[in-house]
């Protein structure tokens, strides 16, 4: 089986590391693992392989890496683990890695480009400019190839080509087409491979539900932590900020219910779960401190755009989106979102 990782950051690096070191001997013998990388990451991997740190110590992971997708050739599975601002640039390379039956596992935060393509309801087929302007990604990576992946683990890219696993091992997988769900044989094959590598894999009949539920929590924690520099415990311990988070989440909850994915949990219940994580530094705060582009559009711009399409006003989402977008723009961190007019 040929597997290529696109995006050797915190999550992509962990996929590469565990697939490269944890598979049983029989599975490892048939796996051809590679990565698409560039710059300092590519140089580091070529020099000493991928470095993987965890509770058991540090290991080197031999890994074929290239900046040329054509040199790696068509794959059976492409694991796409880039941040949302890099998606448009990565999509042509992903397309070049695809043969007739290639599957693309999309392990990304926020609302993905394929979210509404096969989802019944008021937004079926909606292409979000905030996520995929002009439908460019959709054309290059069609939904029928996509396995959605919701990541429930934490890792960190501590240096180019060096990844540290922090905690957790959960992945939720499901077809972008809700009709096939967990019965698809190729999905089962991918799930078995990742389970053999040590991930705790569950399958979802409608992965959009899992995507939206994860977004519902991190659409506030991520940008507010970037704006304030605070860890999640401090955000939730401030009653005014906590109430603002709830107001943002209630708007998103109403939007989800309108397009067919209701969330039964109350914001306060979600806050209590997040608070148990302690002094947690979000991925957006880590990106800000490292000077990397921020995932603003996929987390907030998309929610605002969906609300505008449906006709639900989002004043609190708008306020948070505007503030974090302006902060990112003043620091040159790739805030690309454009204002979206609300429907009358």
CA distance 163 to 265: 34
Q: List CB contacts of 79: < 8 A, sequence separation 6 or more.
A: 3, 4, 5, 6, 12, 15, 105, 107
Burial 80-90 (b: 16+ CB within 10 A, else e): bbbbbbbbbeb
- Decide if 2 is catalytic: no
**Kindly report the CA angle at 90 between 122 and 51, in degrees rounded to 5?**
120
Rg (CA), the chain: 19
For tokens 């560039």, name the residue.
Answer: 38
Q: By the 8 A CB rule, do 79 and 105 touch?
A: yes
The per-residue DSSP string of 46-73 comes to HHH-EEEEETTEEEEE--EEES-HHHH-
Residue 72, both tokens? 């790696």
Q: Which residue among 2, 214, 276, 338 is the active-site one?
A: 214
Burial 93-106 (b: 16+ CB within 10 A, else e): bbbbbbeeebbbbb
Residue 14, both tokens? 């962990």
Residues that are catalytic:
214
């Amino acid at each position: 089986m040929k597997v290529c990782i696109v995006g050797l950051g915190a999550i992509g690096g962990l996929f590469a590391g565990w697939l490269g070191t944890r598979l049983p001997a029989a599975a490892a013998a048939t796996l051809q693992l590679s990565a698409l990388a560039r710059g300092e990451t590519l140089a580091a991997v070529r020099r000493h392989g991928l470095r993987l740190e965890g509770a058991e110590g540090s290991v080197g992971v031999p890994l074929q890496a290239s900046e040329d997708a054509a040199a790696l050739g068509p794959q059976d599975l492409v694991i796409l683990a880039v941040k949302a601002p890099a998606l448009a640039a990565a999509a042509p390379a992903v397309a070049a890695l695809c043969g007739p039956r290639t599957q693309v596992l999309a392990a990304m935060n926020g609302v993905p480009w394929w979210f509404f393509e096969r989802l019944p309801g008021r937004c079926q087929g909606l292409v979000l400019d905030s996520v995929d302007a002009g439908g460019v990604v959709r054309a290059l990576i069609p939904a029928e190839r996509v396995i959605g992946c919701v990541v429930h683990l934490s890792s960190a890219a501590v240096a180019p080509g060096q990844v540290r696993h922090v905690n957790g091992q959960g992945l939720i997988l499901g077809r972008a087409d809700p009709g096939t769900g967990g019965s698809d044989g190729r999905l089962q094959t991918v799930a078995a491979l990742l389970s053999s590598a040590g991930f705790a894999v569950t399958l979802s009949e409608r992965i959009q539900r899992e995507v939206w539920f994860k977004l519902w929590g991190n659409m506030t924690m991520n940008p507010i932590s970037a704006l304030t520099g605070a860890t999640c415990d401090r955000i939730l311990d401030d009653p005014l900020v906590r109430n603002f988070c709830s107001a943002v989440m209630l708007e998103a909850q109403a939007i989800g219910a309108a397009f067919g994915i209701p969330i039964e949990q109350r914001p306060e219940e979600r806050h209590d779960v997040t608070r148990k994580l302690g002094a947690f530094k979000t991925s957006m705060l880590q990106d800000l401190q490292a000077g990397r582009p921020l995932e603003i559009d996929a987390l907030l711009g998309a929610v605002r755009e969906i609300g505008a399409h449906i006709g639900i006003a989002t004043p609190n989402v708008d306020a948070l989106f505007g503030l974090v977008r302006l902060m990112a723009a003043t620091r040159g961190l790739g805030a690309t979102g454009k204002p979206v007019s609300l429907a009358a």
